[in-house]
């Protein structure tokens, strides 16, 4: 084993797009909100940025925020594109350009922003933040909670910049100014969100059931990191970019296996005599600093970490979960179930439509004007075939 934890992500679509923050050229009217003003040294009053407005997405489950900057003629947009368009962000796609294009198209139907965007708005847009994620399936929300509880303990034991809560753990290299890695119970998060909804939402109830036992690992890339990677423009993102980025940063997560229980003969077999003595004292809970110099302790801890074992975490009396093995198992990766895509609630497989298919869709569209069920079927077809 190596000092880094790896996960093999078989398909590019296994990595999803969550929250995105970006700026696009804006030629529309002032937003229906208040604006800041600045006063120069010679008492000149200049217009500043607006306060944010919130745009409700499909079924009101997700909102997008927008700020207007009149001086630079830009609109800053922040939100989850797929959540805004489809009414859920549990299952999304990995195509950031297609996701944000769909979001802008829907935003342009709002009477506060109508006709404000051009077809090529994203071509000159600038990205400030992108959240990439992978969903891992565990038995249920209870097991997910247990896994995150132990993960929090292991994060804290690293004595690094971390934030740990009941159902989430944040790894914040450099205080999270450039990027963060976050692990949280997606099922429990959606449960809490559903309880706050004022009205019944049968579709969201089904999504909450699908999320049972899911832990989401999220990579949050901020502007400084995006600049370093050369990914501040949408045109710089290739189809496989999210997958490659996630695998690269996943290796940096300090998730290792830990020890538990009494000393077992079979676990000592691969160690030298000196390593056996150190390991035995560690498992017995002896104060290592009374037997070894700090330099020697650091050397052994590094040696065992190279074997995938974290001795910064005290030996557990009860059997511990082996998080290094659990989190690196690609068979746990969750993809969108067929019913979500079939109902037009998640991006589907993108393919070109032939002329014959287009004629059928045109006939369905004409008939659908007077037949609601056909209109719904058309939406489902389009969601599967058109990006």
158-217 per-position pLDDT tens digit = 656 888 888 898 989 888 899 999 999 999 999 999 888 888 889 999 999 999 999 999
Asked if the structure places residue 304 within a domain, the reply is yes
Domain containing residue 367: 349-385
Last residue of a domain, one of 250, 275, 290: 250
Asked if the structure places residue 327 within a domain, the reply is no
Q: Which of 203, 185, 183, 205 is nearest to 195 (CA)?
A: 205
Residues near 66 by beta carbon (within 8 Å), at least 6 away in sequence: 31, 52, 53, 55, 75, 76, 77, 78, 107, 113
Same domain (yes/no): 121, 200: yes
Query: Residue 148 and residue 136: Cα distance in Å, rounded?
Result: 12
Kindly give the parts of the chain with pLDDT less than 70: 1-6, 114-115, 118-119, 157-160, 256, 258, 316-324, 349-387
Same domain (yes/no): 313, 375: no
C-alpha angle 63/204/142, rounded to 5°?
Answer: 110
What's the pTM value of the predicted model, to 2 decimals?
Answer: 0.78
Last residue of a domain, one of 194, 216, 250: 250
Bridge partner residues of 137 (DSSP): 214
For residue 89, what pLDDT is reported?
94
Query: Residue 241 and residue 370: Cα distance in Å, rounded?
Result: 43
Query: Residue 57 and residue 386: Cα distance in Å, rounded?
Result: 20
Same domain (yes/no): 373, 239: no
Query: Residue 6 and residue 251: Cα distance in Å, rounded?
Result: 5
Query: Residue 382 and residue 387: Cα distance in Å, rounded?
Result: 8
Query: Residue 281 and residue 269: Cα distance in Å, rounded?
Result: 16
Same domain (yes/no): 77, 166: yes
Asked if the structure places residue 153 within a domain, the reply is yes
The kind and range of the H/E element at 318 are none
Same domain (yes/no): 244, 275: no
Burial class (CB in 10 A: 0-12, 13-18, 19+), 368: middle
Same domain (yes/no): 303, 356: no
Asked if the structure places residue 256 within a domain, the reply is no
For residue 366, what pLDDT is reported?
57
Asked if the structure places residue 328 within a domain, the reply is no
HSE-CB for 114 with a 13 A CA cutoff: 4
Token digits for 207? Answer: 């999504």
Asked if the structure places residue 260 within a domain, the reply is no
Domain count along the chain: 3
Same domain (yes/no): 241, 282: no
Same domain (yes/no): 288, 229: no
The predicted-structure confidence for 43-69, as pLDDT tens digits, reads as follows: 888 878 999 999 999 988 899 999 999
For residue 2, what pLDDT is reported?
37
- DSSP classification of residue 48: E
Asked if the structure places residue 205 within a domain, the reply is yes
Last residue of a domain, one of 206, 224, 250: 250
For residue 356, what pLDDT is reported?
59
Same domain (yes/no): 287, 181: no
Same domain (yes/no): 363, 304: no
Asked if the structure places residue 315 within a domain, the reply is yes
Same domain (yes/no): 176, 288: no
Same domain (yes/no): 167, 279: no
């Amino acid at each position: 084993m190596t000092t880094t934890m790896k996960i093999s992500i078989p398909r590019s679509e296994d990595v999803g797009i969550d929250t995105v923050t970006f700026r696009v050229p804006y030629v529309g009217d002032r937003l229906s909100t208040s604006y800041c003003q600045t006063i120069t040294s010679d008492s000149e009053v200049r217009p500043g940025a607006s306060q944010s407005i919130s745009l409700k997405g499909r079924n009101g489950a997700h909102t997008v925020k927008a700020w207007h900057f009149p001086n630079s003629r830009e609109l800053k947009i922040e939100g989850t594109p797929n959540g805004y368009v489809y009414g859920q962000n549990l299952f999304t796609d990995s195509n950031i350009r297609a996701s944000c294009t769909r979001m802008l198209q829907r935003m342009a139907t709002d009477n506060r922003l109508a006709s404000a965007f051009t077809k090529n708005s994203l071509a000159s847009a600038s990205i400030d933040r992108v959240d990439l994620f992978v969903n891992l399936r565990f038995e249920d929300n209870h097991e997910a909670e247990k896994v995150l509880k132990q993960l929090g303990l292991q994060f804290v034991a690293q004595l690094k910049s971390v934030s740990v809560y009941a159902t989430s753990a944040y790894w914040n290299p450099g205080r999270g100014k450039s990027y963060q890695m976050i692990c949280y119970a997606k099922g429990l998060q959606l449960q809490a969100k559903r309880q706050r909804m004022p009205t019944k939402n049968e579709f969201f109830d089904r999504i909450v059931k699908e999320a049972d036992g899911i832990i989401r690992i999220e990579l949050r890339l901020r502007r400084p990191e995006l600049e370093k990677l050369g990914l501040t423009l949408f045109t710089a993102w290739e189809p496989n970019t999210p997958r490659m980025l996630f695998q690269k940063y996943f290796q940096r997560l300090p998730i290792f296996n830990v020890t538990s229980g009494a000393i077992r003969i079979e676990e000592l077999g691969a160690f030298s005599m000196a390593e056996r003595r150190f390991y035995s004292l560690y498992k017995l809970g002896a104060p290592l600093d009374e037997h070894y110099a700090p330099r020697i302790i650091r050397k052994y801890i590094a040696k065992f970490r190279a074997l995938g074992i974290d001795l910064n975490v005290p030996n557990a009396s009860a059997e511990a979960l082996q998080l290094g093995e659990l989190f690196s198992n690609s068979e746990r990766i969750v993809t969108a179930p067929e019913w979500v895509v079939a109902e037009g609630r998640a991006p589907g497989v993108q393919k070109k439509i032939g002329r014959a298919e287009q004629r059928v869709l045109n006939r369905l569209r004409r008939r659908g004007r007077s037949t609601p069920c056909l209109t719904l079927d058309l939406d489902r077809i389009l969601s599967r075939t058109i990006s």
